[in-house]
Amino acid sequence: MNSKHFTSLLDLSSEEFRCIIHRAIELKNNRDPDYQPLKGQVLAMIFEKSSTRTRISFEAGMTHFGGNALFLSPRDTQLGRGEPLHDSAKVISSMVDCIMLRTDKHETVTTFAQHSSVPVINGLTDQEHPCQLLADMQTYFEFRGDIKGKTVTWIGDGNNMCHSYIHAAMLLDFNLNIACPVGYQPLIEYVLPAGDRVRFFDTALAAAKNTDLCVTDVWASMGQEEEQKHREIAFKDFQINAEIMKAAHDDALFMHCLPAHRGEEVTAEVIDGPQSVIFAEAENRLHAQKALLEFLLCKK
């Protein structure tokens, strides 16, 4: 039970985070079909939440590396019938080489990691989305270089993405401005360890002033659809639009983990504009996760 897990960005050191970013860029720019370090290995992918980018990127990544990926939903396993998590973790990990979970409760991932004999990857929980941050940071490094000392602005829901941005700020040493509606701030247990790297603002415009990267997410995430109307009211002043991007540095980038709702959290002018790097960001899920799989499964 000594496997290296990736349940959170904080499972990495700053040096390891940077190594994965640079390796992802290398893998992206030098695709070698003969390089198959995971030949014969199997990744179990457990999805309690549906996904486009997570499933395709992990499945394609395993194929590129010579391995295979199994798609498992609760309907297809005993997890949906109430089998204890630690039993499932022991059984599944005895048959595969790595497990990725995209689930609701963060405790599901940490419990799996505790009882798994192979590496466990957090593909998303309600509290954290570390794989997306690997891709986001790779994208920033590609377009603007190292993010150390820069300022990033998070506008919108203080959700799992915001929590992982706080962790990224701690590891990569950048400043994080946050503007969220009252009642939607990130959890205090994520904010306190970050110290003065995180600053809160009452308005999106103030948060975006002189920033290097503006980021947002949908106002109502998966599973919050019934809150949509209520959230539209709460978040109406937290949209990234041309005025917000104008307050940022001239070379500031815009990112969004997708899917996006044009006209809600971001205007079409911004997401389809010259500062947006959303499609490179989406593609980088593949390269960043290949680098992560290599790091977890091939590390000597």
| Buried-state track 198-213, b at ≥16 Cβ within 10 A, e below 16 | beebeebbebbeebbb
Which residues are catalytic, by number?
Answer: 102, 129, 132, 217, 257, 285
The strands making up 42-47's β-sheet, listed across from edge to edge, are 68-72, 42-47, 98-102, 120-124
| End-to-end C-alpha distance for the chain, whole angstroms | 16
H/E stretch holding 154: strand 151-155
Each residue's pLDDT expressed in tens, for the chain with a length of 300 residues: 579 999 999 999 999 999 999 999 999 999 999 999 999 999 999 999 888 899 999 999 999 999 999 999 877 777 767 788 999 999 999 999 999 999 999 999 999 999 999 999 999 999 999 999 999 999 999 999 999 999 999 999 999 999 999 999 999 999 999 999 999 999 999 999 999 999 999 999 999 999 999 999 999 887 777 788 899 999 999 999 999 999 999 999 999 999 999 999 999 999 999 999 999 999 999 999 999 999 999 965
Q: Name the region of 12 (left: φ>0; alpha: ψ -120 to 50; beta: rest).
A: beta
Question: How many angstroms separate the CA atoms of 53 and 259, rounded?
Answer: 9
Residue with tokens 């590390």: 299
Question: How many angstroms separate the CA atoms of 105 and 138, rounded?
Answer: 27
pLDDT of residue 185: 97
pLDDT of residue 1: 52
Helix (H, G, I), strand (E, B) or coil at 216: strand
Question: How many angstroms separate the CA atoms of 153 and 166, rounded?
Answer: 11
pLDDT of residue 6: 98
Secondary structure of 24-55 as H, E, C letters: HHHHHHCCCCCCCCCCCCEEEEEECCCCCHHH
pLDDT of residue 50: 82
pLDDT of residue 20: 98
| Buried-state track 31-42, b at ≥16 Cβ within 10 A, e below 16 | eeeeeeebeebb
pLDDT of residue 235: 95
pLDDT of residue 243: 98
Instruction: Give the residues across from 100 on adjacent strands.
Output: 45, 121
